[in-house]
Amino acid sequence: MHSDDFDRCLATYTSAFDARQPFSMEYRLRRHDGEYRWLLDNGVPLHGAAAVFTGYIGSCLDITERKEAEERLREAEERARTVVENVVDGIITIDSVGTIQSFNPAAEGLFGYEAREVIGRNVRTLMPEPHRSAHDGYIANYLTTGRAKIIGSGREVEGLRKDGSAFPMDLAVSEFRLHERRYFTGIVRDITERRLLEQRLRERAEQLAVVERRKDEFLATLAHELRNPLAPIHNAVQVLMVTGLRDPELKWSREVIDRQVRHMARLLDDLLDVSRISHGKLALRKERIRLAAVIQSAIETSRPLVESQRHELVVAVPDEPILIDADPVRLAQVFSNLINNAARYTEPGGHIRLIAERQGSDVVVTVKDDGIGIPAEMMPRIFEMFCQGQERTERASGGLGVGLSLVQGLVQLHGGHVEALSGGQDMGSEFIVRLPAAVEARPPAPPSHEVSEVVPPRRLLIVDDMQDTADSLAYLMRLKGHEVRTAYDGVAAIAAAAEFRPEIVLLDIGMPKLDGYETCRQIRGQPWGKDMFLVALTGWGQDGDRRRADEAGFDRHLVKPVDPGALMTLLAALPPGPVRGRG
């Protein structure tokens, strides 16, 4: 017999023997091979003649497997109890009528009760209204119908502490049966910190949305305010072009002003385009086009900058047509921005190469220069908005730092990819644009018929609160043979339109007394204004501005500084004779 069991068993046997009573005891007995086995030893008194006690008769049963099973069960229960007592979540068990059966230490910490204070009480104690009043009905409904609201799932609810304060918590409820009785276990977790974090995140998101909205408003206002002074400068340059200049120096001055005004207008357009892309508001107008035609358009746009820096631009495009499905205007914008970027960051007299080729199912266009290169530390953020490379002190044409961001956004909208390569400072740069080639053999769309540039004389009313803008454009239109009147605010515009009865009204939006939208509505509301052709001519160029102009009754929306060629094309496209607007 095991030494740990001897005294206990001897005491049990002696007590039973003295009282002549049955006994039962469990102990470990060592076998011949040294292994201990558990035995259940049962004995009953044995009596002889005349009921004289003569000893015990009994049996011994090997219960080793049972004892091992009991030990495993005890260990499992201990582990379970340890987990329940040390887990960070509160664990509460109730019976089918809602009486609390167990309440672990984490639950004590959450609710402020000791287990002895709540065991035996209804779980409603831990609930604020209206859940407290409705709880018994929840359980009764589930037991009757089997339809669960919380049981078997999790949800966010409120708990009630001992001090009367409520707190948010996650609750997951499961059901189990024990000896044919139904019980429910609730696992609860305080989510106060999470709720506070979520609230802070919402507040931060709202703050960022306000900042983003203010940024958009700032960009739109900046573009508007800068376009306004550009418009009369641009108009004056066009007047000089129409009247002609024989002095070479004056002609050179006019060309410089024209180039820089166009450059400023493109910078403003790029700035707003990047904002549109970041908000997913820039839509492409795709068509089947020849890549060579797009590249040629980009070169024409960039030629003044390239030539002003005396760069050599070499273009290599395959003889066989390469077709792509793309927005020709936006794709030309991609390549012109890359050429401009190369021209700005290459010392005067540098070399720029543009190579286009077909690689499998892709079209690859590479723009490479021998300029100042891109430092390694700048490569990861070269396409970020407002990111600019290090400029040499003698170079001041770095732009706004939005061109490459715009390139990446437009290429991605076309389903393509752009990457930048550079060996580092003074090692030049290389930008590789990869676009999907057209899948089908469908030919490109035929070019639209040229609109005749012969414009019959029209009666024009030009309205702008910046008198220089109105007067310069009026002077240019008179040189083109049109009859023109001007007005400098919305009220004067309505009066001039009533008296002059123009065919076409070029109308600014942001004006004193009466803005362009309301001026348009009032003109449209007059019998004589229903058929006038009304054009919004404004520095506001966002999509929302175009939509508001359309809703106000405008026929067209043009952004300052308006290209006289585009304006003449618009006038040429109007049918001869009386013009009829949307009215």
Give pLDDT tens digits for 211-243: 877 877 777 777 777 777 888 888 888 888 777
Residue 530 lies in a domain: yes
pLDDT level of residue 285 (50, 70, 90 thresholds): confident
CATH of the domain at 324: 3.30.565.10
The contacts of residue 397 (CB under 8 Å, 6+ apart) are 344
Same domain, 402 and 314: yes
| 122: in domain | yes
Lowest average pLDDT, out of 304-308, 448-452, 455-459, goes to: 448-452
On whether residue 298 sits in a domain, the answer given is: yes
Q: Is 579 domain-assigned?
A: no
Between residues 40 and 278, the one the model is more confident about: 40
Whole-number pLDDT of residue 556:
92
Per the structure, the count of domains in the chain is 4
pLDDT tens figures, 408-453: 999 999 999 999 999 888 899 999 999 999 876 555 555 444 444 5
What local confidence, expressed as pLDDT, does residue 392 receive?
41
pLDDT digits (tens, 9 = 90+) for 114-171: 999 999 999 999 999 887 887 877 777 877 777 776 777 778 889 999 999 999 999 9
Q: Can you give the C-alpha Rg of the chain in angstroms?
A: 44
Least confident of 162-166, 193-197, 457-461, 564-568: 564-568
pLDDT at 483: 95
End of a domain among 190, 222, 246?
190
Please tell me whether residues 485 and 515 are part of one structural domain: yes
Cα 376 to Cα 399: distance, rounded to the nearest angstrom: 21
- pLDDT at 306 exceeding the cut of 60: yes
60 & 142 share domain: no
Residue 501 pLDDT: 94
Tell whether 65 and 91 lie within a shared domain. Answer: no
CATH number at residue 93: 3.30.450.20
| Mean pLDDT of all residues belonging to the chain | 86
Same domain, 430 and 470: no
How distant, in Å, are the alpha carbons of 374, 376, 510, 550 from that of 543? 35, 38, 16, 11
Question: CA–CA separation, 217 vs 44, rounded Å?
Answer: 100
Average pLDDT on 455-477 reads 91
Number of neighbours of residue 224 by Cβ within 10 angstroms: 20
- 117-131, 133-147, 371-385, 480-494: least confident range: 133-147
Pick from 190, 215, 248: which residue ends a domain? 190
Which range, 51-60, 81-90, 441-450, has the best average confidence (pLDDT)?
Answer: 51-60
- Angle, vertex CA 163, rays to CA 162 and CA 165, nearest 5: 100
Tell me if 549 is assigned to some domain. Answer: yes
Residue 408 in contact with residue 381, Cβ under 8 Å?
Answer: no
In this prediction, residue 394 carries a pLDDT of 43
477 DSSP assignment? H
What is the arithmetic mean of pLDDT over 521-548? 89
- What's residue 388's pLDDT? 61
Mean pLDDT of 491-499: 95
pLDDT attached to residue 387: 64
Write the CATH number for 469. 3.40.50.2300
Q: Is residue 257 part of a domain?
A: no
3-state secondary structure of 212: helix
Q: Where are the beta strands (DSSP E) in 88-223?
A: 90-95, 100-103, 154-160, 166-178, 181-190
Type of residue at 496: A
pLDDT bracket for residue 578 (50, 70, 90) = low
Whether the CB-CB separation of 333 and 296 falls below 8 Å is answered with no
State the Cα–Cα distance between residues 336 and 303, nearest whole angstrom.
9
Residue owning tokens 């086009």: 289
Average pLDDT, integer, range 285-310 = 90
CA-to-CA distance for 68 and 74, rounded, in angstroms? 10
- What's the confidence (pLDDT) of residue 371? 92
CATH code, 43? 2.10.70.100
Residue 467 has pLDDT above 70, yes or no: yes
Position 214 scores a pLDDT of: 81
Decide if 209 is inside a domain.
Answer: no
Same domain, 413 and 295: yes
Residues of the chain above pLDDT 90, percent: 48
CB atoms within 10 A of CB 493: 28
Specify whether 485 is located in the same domain as 364.
no
Same domain membership, residue 297 and residue 422: yes
Distance of alpha carbon 37 from alpha carbon 296, whole angstroms: 98
Residues 291 and 426 in one domain: yes
Residue ranges making up the domain that contains 60: 3-70
Which of residues 190, 207, 225 is at a domain's end?
A: 190
User: pLDDT-based confidence at 577, cuts 50/70/90?
Assistant: low
pLDDT for 396 beyond 50 = no
Residues 379 and 303 in one domain: yes
Is 141 inside any structural domain?
yes
Over residues 324-342, mean pLDDT: 92
CA distance 398 to 340: 10
Question: Is the predicted pLDDT of residue 272 greater than 80, yes or no?
Answer: no
The answer on 172 and 40 residing in a single domain is: no
Identify the burial level of 484 via C-beta atoms within 10 angstroms of its C-beta, where 0-12 means exposed, 13-18 middle and 19 or more buried.
Answer: buried
Q: What are the tens digits of pLDDT across the range 27-47?
A: 999 999 999 999 999 999 998
Q: pLDDT confidence of 274, banded at 50, 70, 90?
A: confident
Say yes or no: 396 and 326 in one domain: yes
The predicted structure's pLDDT at residue 126: 94
* Mean pLDDT along residues 401-409: 83
